[in-house]
Amino acid sequence: MIVFITGATAGFGAAMARTFAGHGHRVIISGRRVERLQALAAELGAAALPVELDVTDQASIDAALAALPADWQPIDVLINNAGLALGTTPAHESSLADWNTMIATNCAGLVAMTRAILPSMVARGAGTVINIGSTAGSYPYPGGNVYGATKAFVEQFTLNLRADLVGTGVRATNLAPGLCGGTEFSNVRMKGDDAAAAKVYEGTTPLTADDIANTAYWIATLPPHVNINNIEIMPTCQGFGPFAIKRN
Ligand code: NDP
Ligand code: 8X3
């Protein structure tokens, strides 16, 4: 299989690249930090093709896809993984610029990548799109405001893809993890406050990037007649809270 992974310079994306390549598949590893892509490509050898790509920039997407060598063009699996959260402040104190960056990356970027690659899958009558959602898309929490909303978008967009793709042979999955450590997610969210980022995982045994990579690999290698619509994963130490009630 040829697997196109967005956001392969860190976290889930890098782990997914290693997992698919480790099972003998070819991976197109993309992201903005070129030196990271080159290091991962050097590690994975001929199985990996590094591609500089900013999912918020349509020209960057078009250029990256146009430059793919012919033998890398039939993409079997698209993993829309690039994404981020910025901030944990309440809505009325949050930065509109941060909100727009999350929407541009997690929603518009994912849509643009899907629109660019989906027609070739439909034309070949096969393919799998795995969109990385989040439990934040289903369960609200204080400070989750726009981040959670972008992941709710990812889930519904994926289900609507399913509705359109019936009969085409192309599959679509929303893969929604909960608390997952060992990636740069919280460092990015806390804007470089690494102590605050580390606190998120204090005293927990969170999911790992390998857990998510193994799940993506399982989804992509199921028999062609099986489509996982939606899969939600939490670490065993995570659960649900009560509704908040402000009492007089
Ligand atoms: P990381 O911060 O470790 O990795 C994020 C990746 O996204 C990086 O490779 C980064 O690459 C890439 N990225 C960000 N913006 C862009 C952009 N504009 N264009 C291209 N690539 C971009 O985070 P995770 O691996 O933890 O997160 C991956 C996905 O999983 C995200 O969508 C996140 O929302 C989701 N998720 C994470 C969870 C967690 O707890 N860790 C739980 C649930 C979902 P670069 O900066 O080089 O461009
Ligand atoms: C990341 C999981 O709970 O930090 O999507 O929002 S959470």
**Per-residue pLDDT of the chain in tens (248 residues, 90 and over written 9):** 999 999 999 999 999 999 999 999 999 999 999 999 999 999 999 999 999 999 999 999 999 999 999 999 999 999 999 999 999 999 999 999 999 999 999 999 999 999 999 999 999 999 999 999 999 999 999 999 999 999 999 999 999 999 999 999 999 999 999 999 999 999 999 999 999 999 999 999 999 999 999 999 999 999 999 999 999 999 999 999 999 999 99
- Mutation choice for ligand 2 from 134, 180, 238, CB with most ligand atoms inside 8 A: 134
Could you tell me if the CB of 33 is within 6 A of ligand 1?
yes
Record the tokens describing residue 111, joined without a space: 């849509």
CATH architecture, domain 2-233: 3-Layer(aba) Sandwich (3.40)
| Closest CA to ligand 2's atom 4 | 179
Predicted structure pTM score: 0.99
| Closest CA to ligand 2's atom 5 | 134
Give the DSSP H or E segment for 110: helix 110-124
pLDDT of residue 226: 98
Which residues form the pocket of ligand 2, taking CB atoms under 6 Å from any ligand atom? 134-136, 144, 178-179
DSSP reduced 3-state for 138: coil
Contacts of 122 (CB under 8 A, 6+ apart): 165, 168, 170
Largest CA distance in the chain: 67
DSSP reduced 3-state for 237: coil
Q: How far apart are CA 18 and CA 183, in angstroms?
A: 15
Ligand 1 atom at shortest distance from the alpha carbon of 179: 40
Positions marked active-site: 147
The rounded Å distance from CA 78 to ligand 2 centre is 22
The rounded Å distance from CA 174 to ligand 2 centre is 15
pLDDT of residue 77: 99
Phi, psi of 206 (to 5 degrees): -75, 170
Rg of the chain taking only CA atoms, in angstroms: 18
DSSP reduced 3-state for 77: strand
Give the DSSP H or E segment for 86: none
Q: Which residues of 152-165 are buried (b: 16+ CB within 10 A; e: fewer)?
A: bbbbebbeebbeeb
Q: How many CA atoms lie within 13 A of 196 on its CB side?
A: 11
Q: How far apart are CA 119 and CA 73, in angstroms?
A: 12
Ligand 2 atom at shortest distance from the alpha carbon of 134: 5
DSSP reduced 3-state for 207: strand
- Mutation choice for ligand 1 from 4, 5, 9, 135, CB with most ligand atoms inside 8 A: 9
Q: Is the four-CA dihedral 46, 32, 174, 121 of positive or negative sign? A: negative
Q: How many CA atoms lie within 13 A of 238 on its CB side?
A: 19
pLDDT of residue 128: 99
Q: How far apart are CA 84 and CA 191, in angstroms?
A: 11
E-assigned strands of the chain? 2-5, 26-31, 48-52, 77-80, 127-132, 170-177, 230-233
Q: How far apart are CA 81 and CA 131, in angstroms?
A: 6
Ligand 2 atom at shortest distance from the alpha carbon of 186: 4
